[in-house]
Amino acid sequence: MDKNKDLAEFCEGVDKLTGKKKLMVDLSTWISSDRVDIYWRQNTNRYPSYTPAARPAPDLLIDGAKELYAVCVVQADDSSEQLRKTMRKAVDIWERMVENPPNYDQELSKDNPSAVLVATGQSRNGHLFSGTKNREHPEIFRR
């Protein structure tokens, strides 16, 4: 794992990315900070990578100072079915992790993830589905 990525390497070609890879860059840029590290499953020259313990594996690991999250990313702009498939994949990964903890060999703040999460391009807005599809409107709870 190489965390010393050159800024020029990181920026090169970012504007040409499309699809899931662009979404992963956008999410990683949003989430990462001086207290939060991001690790990609794929070995790229943009972010440090982690070694998957089994397949299927989460797309990202978020190491947030005390909590570690395994994240399955899906570009679900056009199809809610893709999101549902990814949620099922996340449950499968979660079940496997519960029965056989991944024990990543990187130096992370926790040995095992606190949770397996699903993320989309709408996560930043507080939801998963796109636009007004799928009855995606906010509901305020009264207490």
Partner 1 sequence: MADKDILPQPEFAATQEIIRSAWGFAKDRTESDEIGIGALLSSRLATKEDTQNESSDPAALYYTPGSLHVHHWESIPWFLWND
Interacting residues toward partner 1 by CB under 8 A: 27, 30-31, 33, 35-36, 62, 64-67, 69, 71, 80, 83-84, 87-88, 90-91, 94-95, 97-99, 101, 112-119, 123-129, 133-141, 143
Residue 40 main-chain phi, psi, to 5 deg: -95, 150
Residue (19 or 138) nearer to partner 1, CB: 138
In sequence order, what are the residues at sequence separation of 6 or more whose Cβ sits closer than 8 angstroms to the Cβ of residue 137? Answer: none
Q: Do 99 and 125 touch, CB atoms closer than 8 A?
A: no
Q: How far is the CB of 80 from partner 1 (least distance, A)?
A: 8
Q: How far is the CB of 131 from partner 1 (least distance, A)?
A: 11
The two tokens of residue 72 are 């399955």
Residue (44 or 114) nearer to partner 1, CB: 114
DSSP code for 100 = S
